Amino acid sequence: MNDLQKKLEKLKSYFKELGSVAVAFSGGVDSTFMLAVAASVLPQDKVLAVTVVSDFIPEREKAEAADFCAQRKIKQVILPVDVLKIDGVAQNPKNRCYLCKYALFGEIKKIAAENSIKYVCEGSNIDDMSDYRPGMKAIAELGIKSPLRYAKMTKQDIRNLSAQTGLKTWNKPSFACLASRFVYGENITAEKLKMVEKAEQFLFDLGFKQLRVRIHGLLARIEVLPEDLAKVMNNRDKIYAKFKDLGFSYITLDLQGFRSGSMNETVLKKKN
């Protein structure tokens, strides 16, 4: 048995030990894999998918999550949350993720209890530990389980195993909530969240796979993979016209290219 299979067996054994789980399910690479494995080893009534619906999550993600649960016959509970009304979140402080996750997972724990489910699970992997993630503190305080970290799985492990088990999400681009597009300290509004969502969807429709549109006031900073920088310039006029129509005053291209958590770079620099 190779190292990857050992990790998978460790994950399966962990779910069996837990007995029943409510998975915080976004439809992304990590939570889809985690939910699929849990559903493969636990009885149907012992697995629950809880999907948060909020302004922080694009419509396409909600639809994909619902489709997956329907196809796999996994019970799904939709949890609508007005995240901008969570105390402090709209002001976007450096611990925004902590405030948001504490409130959201508190609600998910209630749903789990109502459905006689013992544990709530979230989908962070060991690669996530290298970034600035204040939400992890909320996870720890609330006693939320992190099965992928328990099995010491990296993002690439999860993609490889997802491909082996036939999950369509194996090569899905990494995604983070739309609030991560805002520079810390800038107020988050429903209007600006929708601007970002529509801007990113436009780039997806143009064929870009891995990307972010970061927002600084009314300036849009586009991050794409380095090999796609030329493609942005080839579509410059289309992108400029669309982004202006969405309400952006300035549109820029980040020459460093896409990287997860780029808004955390100044925070990490100060810590170091």
Over residues 201-214, the pLDDT tens digits come to 999 999 999 999 99
Percent of the chain at pLDDT > 90 equals: 89
The CATH code of domain 3-171 reads: 3.40.50.620
Specify the 3-state DSSP secondary structure of 153: coil
Cα distance between residue 40 and residue 90, in whole Å: 39
Higher pLDDT pick, 119 / 132: 119
**pLDDT > 60? residue 266:** no
Distance of CA 256 to the CA centre of its chain: 22
- Our separate counts of H helices and E strands in the chain read 11, 7
6 HSE (CA, 13 A, CB side): 4
Percent of the chain at pLDDT > 70 equals: 95
Which pLDDT does position 263 carry in this prediction?
63
Which pLDDT does position 207 carry in this prediction?
96
Which pLDDT does position 133 carry in this prediction?
80
What is the CATH architecture assignment of 178-271? 2-Layer Sandwich (3.30)
Higher pLDDT pick, 120 / 1: 120
Q: Please list the residue range(s) of the chain that carry CATH number 3.40.50.620.
A: 3-171
Put residue 73 in one of left, alpha, beta given phi > 0 → left and psi -120 to 50 → alpha: left
123: Cβ contacts below 8 Å, ≥ 6 apart = 23, 24, 26, 28, 30, 31, 33, 34, 146, 148
Which pLDDT does position 189 carry in this prediction?
98
**Contact present, 92 and 185 (Cβ < 8 Å):** yes
Q: Please list the residue range(s) of the chain that carry CATH number 3.30.70.
A: 178-271
Q: Averaged over 70-82, what is the pLDDT?
A: 97
**pLDDT > 70? residue 254:** yes
Which pLDDT does position 265 carry in this prediction?
61
On average, the pLDDT of the chain sits at 94
**pLDDT > 90? residue 271:** no
* Two structure tokens written together for 73: 């016959």
Cα distance between residue 146 and residue 84, in whole Å: 26
* Two structure tokens written together for 162: 């997802």
Q: Averaged over 86-95, what is the pLDDT?
A: 96
pLDDT in tens, 219-238: 999 999 999 999 999 999 99
